[in-house]
Structure 1
């Protein structure tokens, strides 16, 4: 199915009553420098003008320009100290990132907006932001996280009496039930939201909801009803000339025909999707449309055109970081090259598709867990009435038996008290000694467990006997590896080799602790650590780079020490990447906290593509920290990484 994120409605924290004239972008930009040195009134006028122009660009889907102007207005609002407008800027920037398919930056910006609204006690702004964070989690397949944020938003909207946005939150809750295939409950929530949208005559939201209802019908195999819903959604979108809504409805109609193998009927819808996606610059929609058209070309035996479309779509999917889209593109290229009689190219994309399956299997597992949670809740609801009736019947029987028990209990209690009194003195003394011994052993066990696992994970393991897997949207992964390890190790005795590795890894442990970086594990001569888990930290991306630089500095010093005494020395490569991961504990013996996901694989490739003595980082991490003071970056260009293709990389150094 195409574009699951397109059925999500983003709740905008709109400014009310701004009557400032919209200036051209060049005029507004030129005034920023002047405003920085003038009074607050002028700064506010320029900030409002920048914000309005940015909103105009966002409404017309000119996203790159809108981001530039939002950032300029944000700086001015921060200088003025206007918390409401600062929160609005963060939210609008996040929405733009969302439409561009950059979900990590969208979540980060929304979280900053939520912190701002919470600080100034703006419940409506906070509720809207929580709802939007739920939307991003929904688009990433983290449905339980999405549901939790939607419910928090709904509670706040209900508290302040905002029925319009409450309907949006209810609409989104219904979408989660639809994801869990609980279509009955999904339609109940959709009906509640639809009544509000109709009452308010909100055509945009009605189009979103009607499309969601059509998707439920499609999943149930009710194709005629699905077609009527999708067509109604498209009619509204065409009338409003809203290209985001048009892409949503067109892709749904394309999916409907593709599902029925009516490929020639599906093709025009996907073609229009691609045209609109190109107009507004949405990489996510461009990638999905290109791959969808490629799959149809393959089905219609136009395999060369299929290869072109799917290759273009795969390149775009790599830019937005969508694993499911990359998997779909690789599958299409495998089938098309196979049909063209090119087994070498077919095998290449077949292997890439299998590699991508690992990450997708993690998401599938999360979906299964979510479905089990919903099924469990439905079971609880279904037996609630039976339990209540049974409780009433038992209560009457218990009252009759209670009187007899009381009489017997008095007799037994007197005998028991006499027996207990005899041995109480001895028992109390024994308990004191036992508790002292248990405390010593408990303290030893606690220290050992905390040396193996993060404190929060250890507490969960002790409480429940297992640890639930957790998803993180932005975590930095660091890998190190000694160059020519085998050749250097052959020059040492086993004792010397172990002592040298221990010296290095001990130093790395202390450095990781200094910068609040979590050590994950060592594998032979490789060392792996992560920043931002188990707790998110605004400084985690900067700290892990500082830790990597200090590790390389230690290795340089160690090489000098070893060479002065004539001992062999290791040189080390170090690479860092950032992105989403899943973390947890697997198995029941010899527990080990570990992380999984495409981000981990990419970090390993970044390390192997580096050179000794340097800290090599991905372009993704560079985008997050490029404005940080104290770093000097050297662009390496697009470097080929095994299994990943071309990846932008940078060397980073600390400014002295």
Structure 2
């Protein structure tokens, strides 16, 4: 049964009259929640009222329907953890109502949510459970849907042969039930598997059949995705113009129907295709569009990451509650039976102990995985030595370093340029440059400290015993300056016309962590201030270094003495421009 807003609108009058009681009122709330598609918060209100009334009247069937509807709405709203909680409660109610089809559907919804979160292991477990339950019913379409979704999950983790097995069975069931939209998804998914396996002719044949059906049904979201797969097929054939044509069709369709995720993915693919064609201006244009739409769907990704950070312990507890509820009911029925049944209960207890031990083992594994994820996140924020100290002692003691090389950079004219841009385009532009700076800094084993607006700060000589940090910093600075110049030249047709100023100094600093919430690693000292002055007294496209740094790198790099320059609050300082690596460096 399809959702229909007009049905909800027609039922609202009956709802506000308040004359219906008992199961009639429950059915009214169910239909109102299901068909209210324009206002999801209102739909959620109806589902919550259905749950409360079902509990009051001890009606387990409608309690199942209420929790399942609530889970569906929270899933659409991006509240994936809350949706999981509702689906587990729906499963419990379906068991109590002896409604096997509902129990299977609830498990399929749990599996779909785990798949959306990115937890493939749990998704496969609950798909298997759903399929096993639905095989006991006459609900062919639901069984086929569970098989289709399980196949899609197998495809996501590159188990292509298993995916084809699921799709073959689901396709036969959809065809038997004359369920066209299910057949279309099935054909399209089979085509994507063949594409990944390199069987391009079968891939194109199946995907085109799926698109034909979906166009008749006016279901455009999967069409946009399937078109990009056909584009990949032609790219592998070496037919770049046809690949571009299919990706443009995908982008136009996604834009027409507001499919933000597919808009982002199609723009990214066009950017990569134009890069292969040697058209860097067009490639950059589509890459910028990809960034804009990627950021617009990041809320869902953030929810997924938050859900991944859970240990799944709470969800596993809920499953344990379901198991215990089943066991209690079995025990109540079996208490009146004699000695033979007692033996069966002993067997059930043995199974329970096995499951409990298995649950403890899995929980320990989950905790270890979450600990590893937490460690990686901490290392992404702090240097390894500092992160270890924070974990062991709960705080970080400030540390003095006798010789550290500090770099500052900023973009000339960035303030006036930024006033002409939208916030999204501004962030996108800064991200484009700083992502490359990060890669260069990491390549030379230097430490990024922070960014402030268009200013970028990094240091060398922290947390390592290498004495060549000044040389490494100069090498990195030359790469950064070259990248900015190259980008400006490549993007001559765009509005990206930055020049960069770079300043470097070497000297003693103090390093440590500041704050207790949203803490940050930072460095302080006269060397930092002088490095900042080197940058502010530099010129566009130049690398300005202090006398301290010059003495360390003069044997490796050609430098031009600028003289002694008056610096605010510092007096006169000797400065040098780095011109490049010496053609012959002494051994």
| Larger RCO: 1 or 2 (CA < 8 Å, sep 6+) | 1
TM, length-normalised to structure 2: 0.47
TM, length-normalised to structure 1: 0.43
